[in-house]
Chains A and B, each alone.
Chain A
Amino acid sequence: MSNGISMERVEEIIDGYGCQVHHLIAIMQDIQAEYKYLSPAVLERIAEKLGVGVAKVYSVATFYENFSLEAKGKYIIKVCDGTACHVRKSQPIFNAIREYLELEGKQKTSADGLFTLETVACLGACGLAPVVTVNDQVHSKMSPELAIELLEDLRKEDAANG
């Protein structure tokens, strides 16, 4: 299927919840855990299997910030914007990364599909502020320069691995 999503696997997850509509959120979480995002085809399949309108599924998926309807990059960068990180200048880090990745408007994922940039409310690591995570690996006491360096390293690493 499209973008590496296996519909058989999606159906397996839905069946695992007995096709019950009250498990909608759990189903979407499980699918997203596996594929990082929910494609339109996935939402349509969920609606069909649960016997609800696809607009209802879309409604729930767009209500929660946690669900992503867009394919994400290989590296998901989360810049913490909790109170501690915010006062220790997380915003310039975010802006620097945005500029480095040439993101425009509401765009979150770089054109090469390598990076996705997000903010997160608080990671609970305030002593290490400002914090950036890459695929859940924590990088502490960041600055705009360190962040760009980190991204360049990741890019090189990715190129080396082909």
Chain B
Amino acid sequence: MAKGIMFIDGQRVPFDGEPNVLSVIRKAGIEMPTFCYYSDLSVYGACRMCVVEDERGKIETSCSMQPRDGLKIRTNTARLLKHRRMILELMLASHNCSCTTCEKSGDCHLQALAVQFGVHHVRFQDNRECGEFDDSSPAIVRDPSKCILCGDCVRVCSENIGMGIIDFAQRGYQMQVTPAFNRKLSETKCISCGQCSAVCPTGAITVYDQIGKAWRAIHDPKKRVVIQIAPAVRVAVGEAFGLAPGQNVLDQLVTALKLMGVDEIYDTTFGADFTTIEEGTEFLERLEKGGPFPMFTSCCPAWVKYLENENPKYLKHISTCKSPMQMFAAILRDRYNVKDQEDGRTTYHIAIMPCTAKKMEAARPEFVQPDGAPAVDLVLTSQEIIRMIKESGIQLTKLEYESPDLPFGLGSGAGVIYGTTGGVAEAVVRFCLPDKSKNVLRELKFSPLRGNRAIRVAVIKVGERDIHLAVVHGLANAQRLLKEIEAGSAYFDLVEVMTCQGGCVGGAGQPHGMKQDKEERAEGLYTLDRSAPFKRAERNPVVGTFLKDLSEERRHELLHVDYVKE
């Protein structure tokens, strides 16, 4: 790793292993503008915003420049500012500037930089043809007229997710980002993870907005609106209201939703406790019966979709457990169908999720009830709920605290950490370990189950047997692991897979966040786990009573699903 001292705008800045000049500049406290640079994606050098000038007047992009000892650069010369303004003006010229009505307005990177650099007038005209508006996906919407060709979505889709659904097509002024053959997303193998929308600096790819539907349900007196809130949501929503990533706002969120007119508000961690117990039991059963191994977790709908589309032979390895959201919905429907008949209202169930793929999961045929309606009527992402709160004029940080309602608002610490990579595996291990002492839990804290390395491996003793666990996040990494398993060079009993980097805290439905923010959100969840009154799913008293009341057959019907197609 290179080490030395650079001179940035005359200031001495030491560097030690930074991958490029751009990160050294940022370390020096200068916010270098970029569209196409993300530390966890490859360097692309397309947007040219991060240009710097060396002492001989040579201009280069700092993202693709290696730090060198004694390197002298300037970041804000007249020429550089002129170039940046020109780049922005050209981008705006080829961009559909319908800012006032754009979904992304206020959160748009292009808009922010145009304001920052004072680009008030665009001299050029755009006469290119652009691709068709595409709202065929259940999770995201593509508006090619707003694309600035930074390529972030292309790289995240192929490098982090390993799918390569969208790419550049054509060249020169005809170039555009599109699925192959200009197909609609619904005609591709897109798994709805939505990471392309999470990195898109403009409104070219956005989360499929279903706020209107939510308001209609809330304002309908015949509907009982019941909400569940996923763990990862509570540590990210605050960011939109000026709080630090990782700060828990669940209780304020409950108050806000009540003010908006929601009838009942519950916690998805309650569903997660069912998942832990069911998945743990299934795992122990598989250990007895001898497989099939590895058992894959089933919480991440994008991962399930991926196996379905690309690797169906592994579907039987997936746990038969429904995801926490669907378990919650199944239990809720089981209880509320009676209630609905009694008071003549229909229960409208909304799940607030950090995830765009949950919108796709909710619409899956497996989760349609006998009456034809889906168990979860509507999935709203963190982004959408933030907008609804703002629309209502509610100042989240000034609200009183209110806990989620009972009985479905009670969850364990194990349920809370479902929101981060490694959380599901840790929750299941906590359930499976025969030794229930506190020391064992403390030790787990330092096991490789936690952390943010892409693939983490641990061996944990359950009874007499050594259990080989793997935790992987970022679907591209999971694909790599699958290849190793297939080649026989790795063996695991249990593998937790999360499609998004960082797990659900890094979901595409969350407010825009960088790697650091996602780590802080994860830390926020671990803090909640530490202060939780009970850490293990099986200690959840409500879950215990519910399970006692269910017959074996009914339990299977409500909580399990078979993704394997005959």
CB distance from A48 to the nearest CB of B (A): 10
Cβ of A80 under 8 Å from chain B: no
Cβ of A9 under 8 Å from chain B: no
A44 and B164 CA atoms in complex are apart in Å by 13
Say yes or no: B170 contacts A57, CB within 8 Å: no
Residues of A within 8 A of B171 (CB): 62-63
- Interface band, chain B: 10 to 19
CB distance from B319 to the nearest CB of A (A): 27
- Interface band, chain A: 10 to 19
Cβ of B389 under 8 Å from chain A: no
Cβ of A53 under 8 Å from chain B: yes
CB distance from A62 to the nearest CB of B (A): 5
Interface residues of B in 45-87 (CB under 8 A from A): none
Residues of B within 8 A of A52 (CB): 164
Residues of B within 8 A of A59 (CB): 167-169
Interface class of chain A by DSSP: helix
Cβ of B250 under 8 Å from chain A: no
Tell which of A43, A52, A53, A58 has the most Cβ of chain B within 10 Å. Answer: A53
Mask for B376-417, Cβ within 8 A of A = 1, else 0?
000000000000000000000000000000000000000000
**Count of inter-chain pairs, beta carbons less than 8 A:** 43
Residues of A within 8 A of B181 (CB): 40, 43, 58
Cβ of A54 under 8 Å from chain B: yes
Say yes or no: B167 contacts A56, CB within 8 Å: yes
Residues of A within 8 A of B157 (CB): 53
Say yes or no: A62 contacts B164, CB within 8 Å: no
Mask for B136-180, Cβ within 8 A of A = 1, else 0?
000000000000000000000110000111111111000000111
Say yes or no: A55 contacts B167, CB within 8 Å: yes
A5 and B171 CA atoms in complex are apart in Å by 27
Say yes or no: A53 contacts B168, CB within 8 Å: no
Across the interface, name the chain B residue whose C-beta is closest to A55.
Answer: B167
CB distance from B384 to the nearest CB of A (A): 28
Query: Given A53-B158, A63-B170, A63-B171: A58 and B164 within 8 A (CB)?
Result: no
Residues of A within 8 A of B170 (CB): 62-63
Tell which of B157, B166, B167, B180 has the most Cβ of chain A within 10 Å. Answer: B180
Q: Which of A40, A56, A58 contacts B158 (CB 8 A)?
A: A56
Residues of A within 8 A of B180 (CB): 40, 43-44, 47, 53-55, 57-58
| CB pairs A–B below 8 angstroms (30 shown) | A40-B180, A40-B181, A43-B180, A44-B180, A53-B158, A53-B163, A53-B164, A53-B165, A53-B167, A53-B180, A54-B164, A54-B180, A55-B165, A55-B167, A55-B169, A55-B178, A55-B188, A56-B164, A58-B167, A58-B169, A58-B181, A59-B167, A59-B168, A59-B169, A62-B169, A62-B171, A63-B168, A63-B169, A63-B170, A63-B171
List residues of B whose CB falls within 8 A of some A CB: 157-158, 163-171, 178-181, 188
List residues of A whose CB falls within 8 A of some B CB: 40, 43-44, 47, 52-59, 62-63
**Sample of 17 further A-B pairs with CB below 8 A, known A59-B167, A62-B171:** A40-B180, A40-B181, A43-B180, A43-B181, A47-B180, A52-B164, A53-B157, A53-B180, A54-B180, A55-B169, A55-B188, A57-B180, A58-B169, A58-B181, A59-B169, A63-B168, A63-B171
Nearest 4 CB-CB pairings of A with B? A53-B164, A55-B167, A58-B180, A59-B167
